[in-house]
Structure 1
Amino acid sequence: MAALFTTPKRNDKTSGAHFVEPDLRRRTLLAHGSWRRVTRRIVVGAVCALTVSSLLMPSVSLAAEWVDVGGTQYNAGTAAGDAAGTWSWDGADDMKLNGYDGGAIQAAGKLNIAYEGKNTVKTEPDYTGAAIKAQDGTSQKAELNITSSNSTDELNVTAEADAIKSTGDLSISGPGTVNTTSTTSDGIEAKGDLSITGSGTVNATGGTEGIQSKGKTTIDSSGTVIAKGSEGYGIAAGSDLIIKGGGKVEASSIEEAAIWADGNIDISGGSQVEASSQGDLAVDAEGSLAVTNASLDASGVEYGVYAYKGVTLDHATVTVRTSASGGQAIALITDGDDIVIKNGSIVDAFAEGKFSVAISTRNHQPNVAGGHIYISDSVVKAIARYVETGGDGPDHYSNDQSGEVIPEPRGLNIGIFAQTYEGITPATISIVRSKLTAEGDTAAIFALAISEDGKAIGTIEIEGAPIQTPAGGKIINYRYEEECGPSISYEAGQTIGTGDATIDSPYDAAVAKSTAIVPPEEIKPEEKPGETKPGSKSEGTKTTKTVAAATAGAKTTGILAATGDTSSAAIIATALVGTAAIVTGALASRKRS
Structure 2
Amino acid sequence: MNGSHFAKQTQRERTCSLVHGSWKRAGARLACVGACALMVGQLLLPSVALAADWINVGGTQYNGGVAVGDEAGTWSWNGADDMQLNGYNGGGISAEGNLNIGVTNTNTVTADAGQSAIEVSGGNLSITGDGTLNATGQTDVITAAGNGITGGDVTVDGATVNVTATGTDANGEECENAEAITAFGGDVTIKNGATVDVKAGRAAGSGDGYYGYVTGIYATNGAPGEDGEFAWEHDGQSNKGGRVSIGSGSTVTVKAESTLESQGIVSRVNNGAARVEIAGDSLVTAIADASNGMWGAVGIEAAGMGNDATADIIIDGKNTFVTAIASASKDRYSKDTYGLHTSSGSAVEGGSIQIKNGSVVAEGNDGAIVADNYTTANGPAGMIVIGEGGKVVLPVNGVVRDYQKLGARPMALGNRFEYADFWGQTIGEPGEGVLRADRDADKIAKVAHIAFDGGAMPTPDPAPTPKPQPGGEGSTGTTGAPSRASAQTGSAVNVKLAAVKASVTASKTTTSALAATGDSAALTVAAMGIAGATVAAAGIAAARRREE
Q: Sort the TM-score into its range (normalised by shorter chain).
A: 0.5 to 0.7
Task: Say whether the 8 Å CA contact 2:54–2:61 is kept in structure 1.
Answer: no
Matched, 1:340 2:277: yes
SS at match of 1:425: coil
Task: Say whether the 8 Å CA contact 1:458–1:493 is kept in structure 2.
Answer: yes
Task: Say whether the 8 Å CA contact 1:166–1:189 is kept in structure 2.
Answer: no
Change (3 A) 1:483 1:211: closer
Change (3 A) 1:258 1:508: same
Aligned-pair identity (%): 21
SS at match of 1:226: strand
Q: Offset at 1:510?
A: 0.7
Q: Offset at 1:494?
A: 0.2
Equivalent residue runs for 1:276-355 within 5 Å: 276-279=164-167, 280-286=178-184, 287-293=186-192, 294-301=194-201, 302-308=214-220, 309-315=242-248, 316-325=250-259, 327-336=260-269, 337-353=274-290, 354=293, 355=296
Q: Offset at 1:169?
A: 5.0
Matched, 1:443 2:367: yes
- Distance in 1, Cα, partners of 2:480 & 2:347: 18
State the partner residue of 2:141.
Answer: 258
Task: Say whether the 8 Å CA contact 2:288–2:298 is kept in structure 1.
Answer: yes
Task: Say whether the 8 Å CA contact 1:174–1:197 is kept in structure 2.
Answer: no
State the partner residue of 2:501.
Answer: none
1:381 aligned to 323, 327, 336, which one?
A: 323
Q: What amino acid is the match of 1:332?
A: I
Matched, 1:273 2:161: yes
- Distance in 2, Cα, partners of 1:17 & 1:495: 42
Q: What amino acid is the match of 2:306?
A: Q
- Distance in 2, Cα, partners of 1:17 & 1:380: 35
State the partner residue of 1:495.
Answer: 426
Task: Say whether the 8 Å CA contact 1:164–1:189 is kept in structure 2.
Answer: no
Matched, 1:243 2:127: yes
Equivalent residue runs for 1:114-129 within 5 Å: none
1:216 aligned to 73, 92, 98, which one?
A: 98
> What are the Cα deviations for residues 260-310 of structure 1, in whole angstroms up to 9, with x where unaligned?
101101111x21111111001101111101111112111113111101220
Change (3 A) 1:246 1:516: same
> What are the Cα deviations for residues 501-541 of structure 1, in whole angstroms up to 9, with x where unaligned?
3112166111000011122139xxxxxxxxxxxxxxxxxxx
Change (3 A) 1:20 1:229: farther
> What are the Cα deviations for residues 455-483 of structure 1, in whole angstroms up to 9, with x where unaligned?
22100011132111101100011135689
1:479 aligned to 399, 404, 410, which one?
A: 404
Task: Say whether the 8 Å CA contact 2:68–2:77 is kept in structure 1.
Answer: no
State the partner residue of 2:517.
Answer: none
- Distance in 1, Cα, partners of 2:381 & 2:53: 56
Q: Offset at 1:376?
A: 0.3
Task: Say whether the 8 Å CA contact 1:173–1:197 is kept in structure 2.
Answer: no
Matched, 1:202 2:88: yes
What are structure 1's unaligned runs of at least 5 residues? 1-14, 38-140, 146-156, 180-187, 388-393, 397-407, 523-543, 557-593
Change (3 A) 1:456 1:169: farther
SS at match of 1:476: strand
Task: Say whether the 8 Å CA contact 1:331–1:350 is kept in structure 2.
Answer: yes
Change (3 A) 1:224 1:20: farther
- Distance in 2, Cα, partners of 1:175 & 1:220: 18
Q: What amino acid is the match of 1:450?
A: Y
Q: What amino acid is the match of 2:312?
A: H
SS at match of 2:262: strand
Q: Offset at 1:350?
A: 0.5
Task: Say whether the 8 Å CA contact 2:478–2:484 is kept in structure 1.
Answer: no
State the partner residue of 1:97.
Answer: none
Change (3 A) 1:237 1:16: closer
SS at match of 2:26: coil
SS at match of 2:454: helix
Task: Say whether the 8 Å CA contact 1:386–1:411 is kept in structure 2.
Answer: no
Change (3 A) 1:259 1:423: farther
Q: Which is higher, the Rg of structure 1 or of structure 2?
A: 1
Change (3 A) 1:334 1:493: same
Change (3 A) 1:366 1:17: closer
Task: Say whether the 8 Å CA contact 1:173–1:196 is kept in structure 2.
Answer: no
Equivalent residue runs for 1:363-374 within 5 Å: 363-367=304-308, 370-374=310-314
State the partner residue of 1:418.
Answer: 342
Change (3 A) 1:258 1:379: same
> What are the Cα deviations for residues 407-442 of structure 1, in whole angstroms up to 9, with x where unaligned?
x96643100000101276212000012111100111
> What are the Cα deviations for residues 48-79 of structure 1, in whole angstroms up to 9, with x where unaligned?
xxxxxxxxxxxxxxxxxxxxxxxxxxxxxxxx
Q: What amino acid is the match of 1:290?
A: T
Q: Offset at 1:352?
A: 1.3
- Distance in 1, Cα, partners of 2:275 & 2:97: 26
> What are the Cα deviations for residues 126-184 of structure 1, in whole angstroms up to 9, with x where unaligned?
xxxxxxxxxxxxxxx99899xxxxxxxxxxx9xxxx643213356566995438xxxxx
Equivalent residue runs for 1:533-572 within 5 Å: 547-549=476-478, 551-552=480-481
Task: Say whether the 8 Å CA contact 2:302–2:311 is kept in structure 1.
Answer: yes
Change (3 A) 1:417 1:339: same
> What are the Cα deviations for residues 375-397 of structure 1, in whole angstroms up to 9, with x where unaligned?
0011000000014xxxxxx2x7x
- Distance in 2, Cα, partners of 1:428 & 1:421: 12
State the partner residue of 1:22.
Answer: 11
State the partner residue of 1:358.
Answer: 299
Q: Offset at 1:496?
A: 0.4
The count of corresponding residues between Structure 1 and Structure 2 is 367
- Distance in 1, Cα, partners of 2:23 & 2:54: 48
Task: Say whether the 8 Å CA contact 2:191–2:247 is kept in structure 1.
Answer: yes
Change (3 A) 1:474 1:164: same
RMSD of Structure 2 on Structure 1 (CA): 3.8
Give the alignment's TM-score, normalised by structure 2: 0.60
Change (3 A) 1:144 1:282: closer
State the partner residue of 2:532.
Answer: none
Change (3 A) 1:314 1:30: same
State the partner residue of 2:518.
Answer: none
Q: What amino acid is the match of 2:200?
A: G
Change (3 A) 1:375 1:196: same
Q: What amino acid is the match of 1:164?
A: T
Task: Say whether the 8 Å CA contact 2:370–2:426 is kept in structure 1.
Answer: yes
SS at match of 2:281: coil
